[in-house]
């Protein structure tokens, strides 16, 4: 089935990744609104600079809100005319369903979702929450749009999207930091920079692929790598000390969760 017409508001990295995924699935037509006017990716996509430039008569089935949260107040009302007919799918961090409705009108059917950047290679994870008034057909459409960029999970408690943002939304940055630190540590131990970079990246990527393919728990996979009294056990004794990674990760996720709630204000 071809994806019905979609209006994409914001053509940044995430919006572009989503659009690429929809085009791979087959899309009737999409209009992307972005003042930067990125190149149109193909004949099935029209790129315009402003809401006023949306072609007359274009009737989207979904409006995907992919603008920066700080631009929501000035941008969303420009597209409120579609709220009565199209489902509004927001991927803006921190912006609540109630806050979005305040900008689009009380008749807006809103789905709030948090994808992450592996969407660029169709390996993302998105957690979504439907607002009141979202029909089963509209939820199914949003699920299809999000499945085009990776796995999708649904929750009914919108408050869960704050820790979701902290864990999976920001999670790729934490993984990239791990690769960065592994590379740096390798160089410190005398490994040539190019080799340290290759080792760090492939270790992170390969471990992630193994984790995705395995039915074992992550702690079981960790123990399988850790020989008694070996080098990995010695390293983990440092990393897993109570004041090291366990405390730091808990504090980091808490800080990001709090910030997500602040963005709603």
Cα–Cα distance, 112 to 130 (Å, whole number): 6
Query: Are 153 and 127 within 8 A, CB to CB?
Result: yes
Which domain CATH number covers 193?
A: 1.10.3730.10
- Do 211 and 84 share a domain, yes or no? no
Which structural domain range is residue 188 located in? Answer: 171-263
- Do 31 and 127 share a domain, yes or no? yes
Look up the pTM and report it: 0.91
Residue 194: is it exposed, middle or buried by C-beta count within 10 angstroms (0-12/13-18/19+)?
exposed
Domain-located, residue 240: yes
- Do 139 and 22 share a domain, yes or no? yes
Please report, in tens digits, the pLDDT of each residue of the chain (265 residues total). Answer: 789 999 999 988 999 999 999 999 999 999 999 988 777 788 899 999 999 999 999 999 999 999 998 899 999 999 999 998 999 999 998 899 999 999 999 999 999 999 999 999 999 999 999 999 999 999 999 999 999 999 999 999 999 999 999 999 999 999 999 999 999 999 999 999 999 999 999 999 999 999 999 999 999 999 999 999 999 999 999 999 999 999 999 999 999 999 988 887 6
- Domain count along the chain: 2
Domain-located, residue 220: yes
- Do 193 and 154 share a domain, yes or no? no
**Residue 63 has what DSSP assignment?**
E
Cα–Cα distance, 9 to 146 (Å, whole number): 15
111, 134, 161 - which closes a domain: 161
Domain-located, residue 245: yes
Residue 64: is it exposed, middle or buried by C-beta count within 10 angstroms (0-12/13-18/19+)?
buried
Which domain CATH number covers 48?
A: 3.40.50.720
Structure tokens at 87: 């489902």
Domain-located, residue 166: no
Residues 6+ apart with CB under 8 A from 62: 4, 6, 7, 86, 87, 88, 89, 138, 141, 142, 145
């Amino acid at each position: 089935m071809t994806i019905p017409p979609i209006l994409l508001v914001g053509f940044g990295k995430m919006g572009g990744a989503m659009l690429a995924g929809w085009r791979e699935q087959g899309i009737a037509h999409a209009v992307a609104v972005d003042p930067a006017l990125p190149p149109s990716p193909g004949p099935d996509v029209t790129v315009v600079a402003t809401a006023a430039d949306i072609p007359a008569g274009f009737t989207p089935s979904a409006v995907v809100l992919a603008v920066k949260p700080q631009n929501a107040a000035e941008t969303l009302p420009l597209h409120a005319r579609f709220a009565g007919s199209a489902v509004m799918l927001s991927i803006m961090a921190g912006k609540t369903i109630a806050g979005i409705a305040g900008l689009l009108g009380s008749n807006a059917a809103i789905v709030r979702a948090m994808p992450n950047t592996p969407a660029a290679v169709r390996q993302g994870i998105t957690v979504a929450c439907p607002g009141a008034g979202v029909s089963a057909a509209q939820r199914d459409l949003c699920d299809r749009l999000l499945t085009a960029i990776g796995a999708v999970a649904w929750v009914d408690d919108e408050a869960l999207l704050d820790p979701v943002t902290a864990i999976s939304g920001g999670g790729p940055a934490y993984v990239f930091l791990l690769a960065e630190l592994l590379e740096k540590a390798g160089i410190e131990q005398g490994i040539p920079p190019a080799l340290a970079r290759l080792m760090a990246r492939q270790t992170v990527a390969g471990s992630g692929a193994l984790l995705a393919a395995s039915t074992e728990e992550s702690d079981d996979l960790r123990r399988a790598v850790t020989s008694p009294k070996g080098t990995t056990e010695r390293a983990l004794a440092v990393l897993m000390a109570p004041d090291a990674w366990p405390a730091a990760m808990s504090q980091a996720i808490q800080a990001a969760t709090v910030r997500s709630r602040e963005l709603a204000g």
